[in-house]
Chain A
Amino acid sequence: AQRVTQPEKLLSVFKGAPVELKCNYSYSGSPELFWYVQYSRQRLQLLLRHISRESIKGFTADLNKGETSFHLKKPFAQEEDSAMYYCALSGLSGSARQLTFGSGTQLTVLP
């Protein structure tokens, strides 16, 4: 069965400090991994896909197949990064494209 685990429900850091949101997964096959973000009073939106290997808003995430992890990192957190972050995975084929979400991590960046 596929599963995504985000061990931290809440995470607080000070502005300018590094931040890492943890995500581990289990999947029998080759999944695609995502990070979605939901800012206050906004809809869920895609932040990162592991396949694109981009850095968005200073965030990066590397897929580690050995550790089955996809941690989200940013070297210098900003107050506007405060939001709910969800790690998610999907299969690669058309019939397996539904997302399996972790329970989410509420990030608060303190001034």
Chain B
Amino acid sequence: EVQLAESGGGLVQPGGSLRLSCAASGFTFSKYWMHWVRQVPGKGLEWISRIKSDGSGATYADSVKGRFTTSRDNVNNTLYLQMDSLRAEDTAVYYCARDGIYVIGSQPFDYWGQGALVTVSS
């Protein structure tokens, strides 16, 4: 069974840092591109980052570029989101999602984690 489980969320002060993890299981993690998507409670979905299957080509939304860094560990099947210089407007639930667009039998954004809440407040 495919599972994605985020961890590392919590309360952080403006200007602070936080690292989210997304533990993957039930599939060959190293074959899949992965994404981070966030959602302000009660609002819509915002894509923030993507990383290719081999860890290269991390790309970011303008709203987080230069402050957030996405990486992955294909040995331990874990995706990371390092968030620095956090702002109040970064407060959201952060989801990791699998992208199977280049994997036969899989689909884009076919599995999502349950999300991790990040609250940026003093």
A and B found bound together: no
